[in-house]
A and B are shown apart, each in its own frame.
Chain A
Amino acid sequence: MRHSTRIAVGPVQFRIGSDWAEPIAALEHLYAGYPQDDTRPSDATVRLFAARPWRRWLRPSVHIGGDFVVPDALPLPLSMGLLAAEMGMNLQVALGWRRHMLLHASAVAKDGRALIMSGESGSGKSTLAALLGEKEGGGDWRLMGDEFTLIDPAGGNAFAFPRAVSLKNEAIAEVAARVDPSRLGPLLAATPKGDIRHLIPRADAIAAMHEPARPALLLFPRFGGEASVEPMGEGEAFVRLTEASTNYVALGEAGFAALTRLVRETPAFAISYPDSAAGIALVEQLWAEAAK
């Protein structure tokens, strides 16, 4: 393809090709601090392409392709090329990765132990993980990722997938107030997923992206309503995580064993919180009291 780049996030080496220069330049800015190994072949391919040659210039619209393709997926305007690249990378991992069990969950780690947060879009799992990852002073949380948490079926450890964090809507201002502006990507306004701005994880989180962490606490956050904590039984956590996993079925017995072990060994809670400060406080409290 005309333009291309290679990016390694956690264990996955991507190659990303594009008919346009802009999305590649934007990616190279966001991922400049990630390790580059030119001797390593790519695991996954993402293609950003124009469906017809003239659509490269005339109302350019970006189709998302690669090793795996979602039929009839709608293209995005070129101004949202970075979002298209992000969606393409997520898609290849969700459908193609088999080494780990994939959980659609954010995660942060401290002292080699992981806090895993799973929830629908809008639950605030990305924002909580990003804010914890930025916490000054009593923090020391390492951001592991805001989209996927990888569970090793053999040992049960969690592995990081620290792509650039996808901040949405209100979370943008909240996080932007705390970080160096050079760590933020361009504002993508009014995308199908709302306003989006990417946050480059801290350098230490990127440097530690291959380090495993032992799952110590599972949270299922819900944004809105009174602050509350509800312990969750193994059965419900299991069912919720099967729904949050994109390759649970494909892994067969190994997936079943990995997930059973995760919910049996890790305390789980559903939490509600009215705002980020209350959410962070709840998370820290549970971490101190209940984490394994």
Chain B
Amino acid sequence: MSAVRSFVDLLAGRRDPAALGPRDWDGVIGVARSEAMLATLAHRLADACLPPAVAALFADQRAAAKVAQAQALWEAEMARRALAPAGIEFVLLKGAAYAAADMSCAAGRQIGDLDILVLAPDIRRAENLLLKAGWEWVKSDPYDDAYYRQHMHELPPMIHKARDRMIDVHHTILPRTHRITPDALALVGDAVTSGAGFAVLNPADMACHCAAHMLADGDLQGGLRNLWDFHTMTRDFAAADPGYWGELDGRAALHGLQSAVHRAARLSRDLYGVALPSAWDRQDPSDVWFRRRLFARDDWGRVTDPLLEQAFYIRSHWLRMPPAMLARHLWTKWRKR
């Protein structure tokens, strides 16, 4: 069995870790690192009987992830101190939000940049306040800068000069030029307060954003991790609220994300083995391409299907902007190479 399938089976609980040989572990650990999910696997198998070297490596990973998570929440606190005095409230997104809300997908999850969502009218003020508080622009290229400001769903990324951490300030969750326009006002207006005191998206919106990020915006880089987030959050939300799947369907319709959310649900069923309500439990022939892309990694952690990878890259751009604009964008980017 391929390492990436063993890895997914271990996460899903379909495979007994005691049955893996040393060379199987080489592949599983390599794939998990390539997907930035080694600490996630370490948490999933925290109580399993493992070879001593794997148990030691996993303990390192869990400890390191705990530190990284505290640092990510500290970064959120720094943003709050920069923005709150001016009356700008923000909603935490993605990894930092999962950590702030102490969700099960946060266990071991790598958190890269700090992603926050503010109301569109606040975005210029938020930028000025962050610049005053020590964040700096990263993109020096005027085309990239203008591109972000005119067409993207976020400011050009900024990095803090002392702490060297990046912040992405969003005003919505998909590029302005995207075929789909989620209701950003509803996302912010209906946000909820997490245990750590930060605003986070409500349970249905959180799953919508996760699916949008994975299937409507990106090219499925890191897809296994995003799908794991989606799988664990919908599982836990549905366990706490029997009406959850219905609410999710309603919110997905509001944001125009029904197709992405339903596909994410089907993929999480196919890979991680969750049972879906009957209205969601369908088959779609095109899912096969998504599954193939998610499994396209060899035992050395390399992407195995460059053509498919390229196709998903092109698809992500196709969804992001109209064809004439895409042509202009690619032409400009190509000339700048």
* A15 adjacent to B60 (CB under 8 Å): no
Interchain CA distance A281-B60 in the complex, whole Å? 40
Q: Which residue of B lies closest to A15 (CB)?
A: B26
Give A42 to B27 CA distance when docked, in angstroms.
9
**B56 within 8 A of partner (CB):** yes
At the interface, yes or no: B53 with Cβ under 8 Å from chain A?
yes
Interface check B237, CB cutoff 8 A:
no
The distance in angstroms between the C-alpha atoms of A67 and B61, with both chains bound, is 14
- State whether A67 and B53 are in contact (beta carbons under 8 Å apart), knowing that A42-B26, A250-B68 are contacts in the complex: no
Mostly, the A contact residues are: loop
Known: A1-B300, A17-B300, A38-B22. A45 touches B63 (CB 8 A): no
CB of B71 within 8 A of CB of A47, answer: no
> Please, which residue of chain B has its CB at the minimum distance from the CB of A68?
B33
Contacts of A67 in B (CB 8 A): 30, 33-34, 301
Residues of A within 8 A of B30 (CB): 15, 42, 45, 67
Q: Which of A193-201, A224-232, A251-259 contacts B (4 or more CB under 8 A)?
A: A251-259
Determine the chain B residues whose CB is within 8 A of the CB of A1 once the complex forms. 300
**Is A182 among interface residues, defined by CB-CB distance under 8 A?**
no
Contact call B22/A45, Cβ cutoff below 8 A: no
Contacts of A43 in B (CB 8 A): 29, 53, 57
Output the least CB separation between A257 and chain B (Å). 12
Q: Which among B33, B56, B71 is the interface contact of A45 at CB below 8 angstroms?
A: B33
Asked whether B53 lies within 8 Å of A40 as measured between CB atoms, the reply is yes
Judged by a CB distance under 8 angstroms, whether A13 is at the interface is yes
Closest chain-A Cβ to B65's Cβ sits at a distance in Å of 9
Chain B, 254-311, CB within 8 A of any chain A CB = 300-302
- B86 contacts chain A at the CB level, 8 A cutoff: no
Contacts of A250 in B (CB 8 A): 64, 67-68
Q: Are A40 and B300 in contact (CB under 8 A)?
A: no
Tell me, rounded to whole Å, the shortest Cβ–Cβ distance linking B29 to chain A.
6
**Residue B25 at the A interface, CB < 8 A?**
yes
Nearest Cβ in chain B — how far from A58, in angstroms? 19
Is B238 part of the contact surface with A, judged by Cβ < 8 Å? no
Which range contains the number of B residues in contact with the other chain? 20 to 34
A99 close to B56 (CB less than 8 A): yes
Shortest beta-carbon distance, A234 to chain B, in Å?
A: 23
Query: What residue in chain A is nearest B66 (Cβ atoms)?
Result: A252
Verify if A138 is at the interface (C-beta below 8 Å from B).
no
Q: Among the listed A17, A66, A98, which residue makes an inter-chain contact with B63, where contact means beta carbons less than 8 Å apart?
A: A98
Which residues on A sit within 8 Å (CB–CB) of B70?
A: 252
In A140-165, the 8 Å CB interface with B consists of none
Partner of A41, one of B34, B53, B64, B68: B53
The residue that B51 contacts in the complex, of A38, A40, A68, with Cβ under 8 A, is A40
Q: Contact check, A45 vs B300: say whether CB atoms are below 8 A apart.
A: yes
With a CB–CB cut-off of 8 A, which chain A residues contact B57? 41, 43
Docked CA distance A39–B26 (Å): 11
* A89-111 CB contacts (< 8 Å) to partner B: 96-99
Interface string of B42-62 (1 = CB under 8 A from A): 000000000101101100110
Closest partner residue, chain A, to B24 (CB atom): A41
A39 near B22: Cβ-Cβ < 8 Å? yes
B70 → chain A closest CB, angstroms: 7
CB distance from A68 to the nearest CB of B (A): 8
B301 touches A40 (CB 8 A): no
A-B pairs with beta carbons under 8 Å apart, 24 shown: A1-B300, A13-B53, A15-B26, A38-B22, A39-B51, A40-B51, A42-B25, A42-B30, A43-B53, A45-B30, A45-B33, A45-B300, A47-B300, A66-B301, A97-B60, A98-B61, A98-B64, A99-B56, A250-B64, A250-B68, A251-B64, A251-B67, A252-B67, A252-B71
Q: Which residues of A contact B (CB under 8 A)?
A: 1, 13, 15, 17, 38-43, 45, 47, 66-68, 96-99, 250-254
In the A-B complex, list the 8 residue pairs whose CB atoms are closest, starting with the nearest.
A41-B25, A252-B67, A67-B33, A98-B64, A98-B60, A45-B30, A42-B26, A99-B60
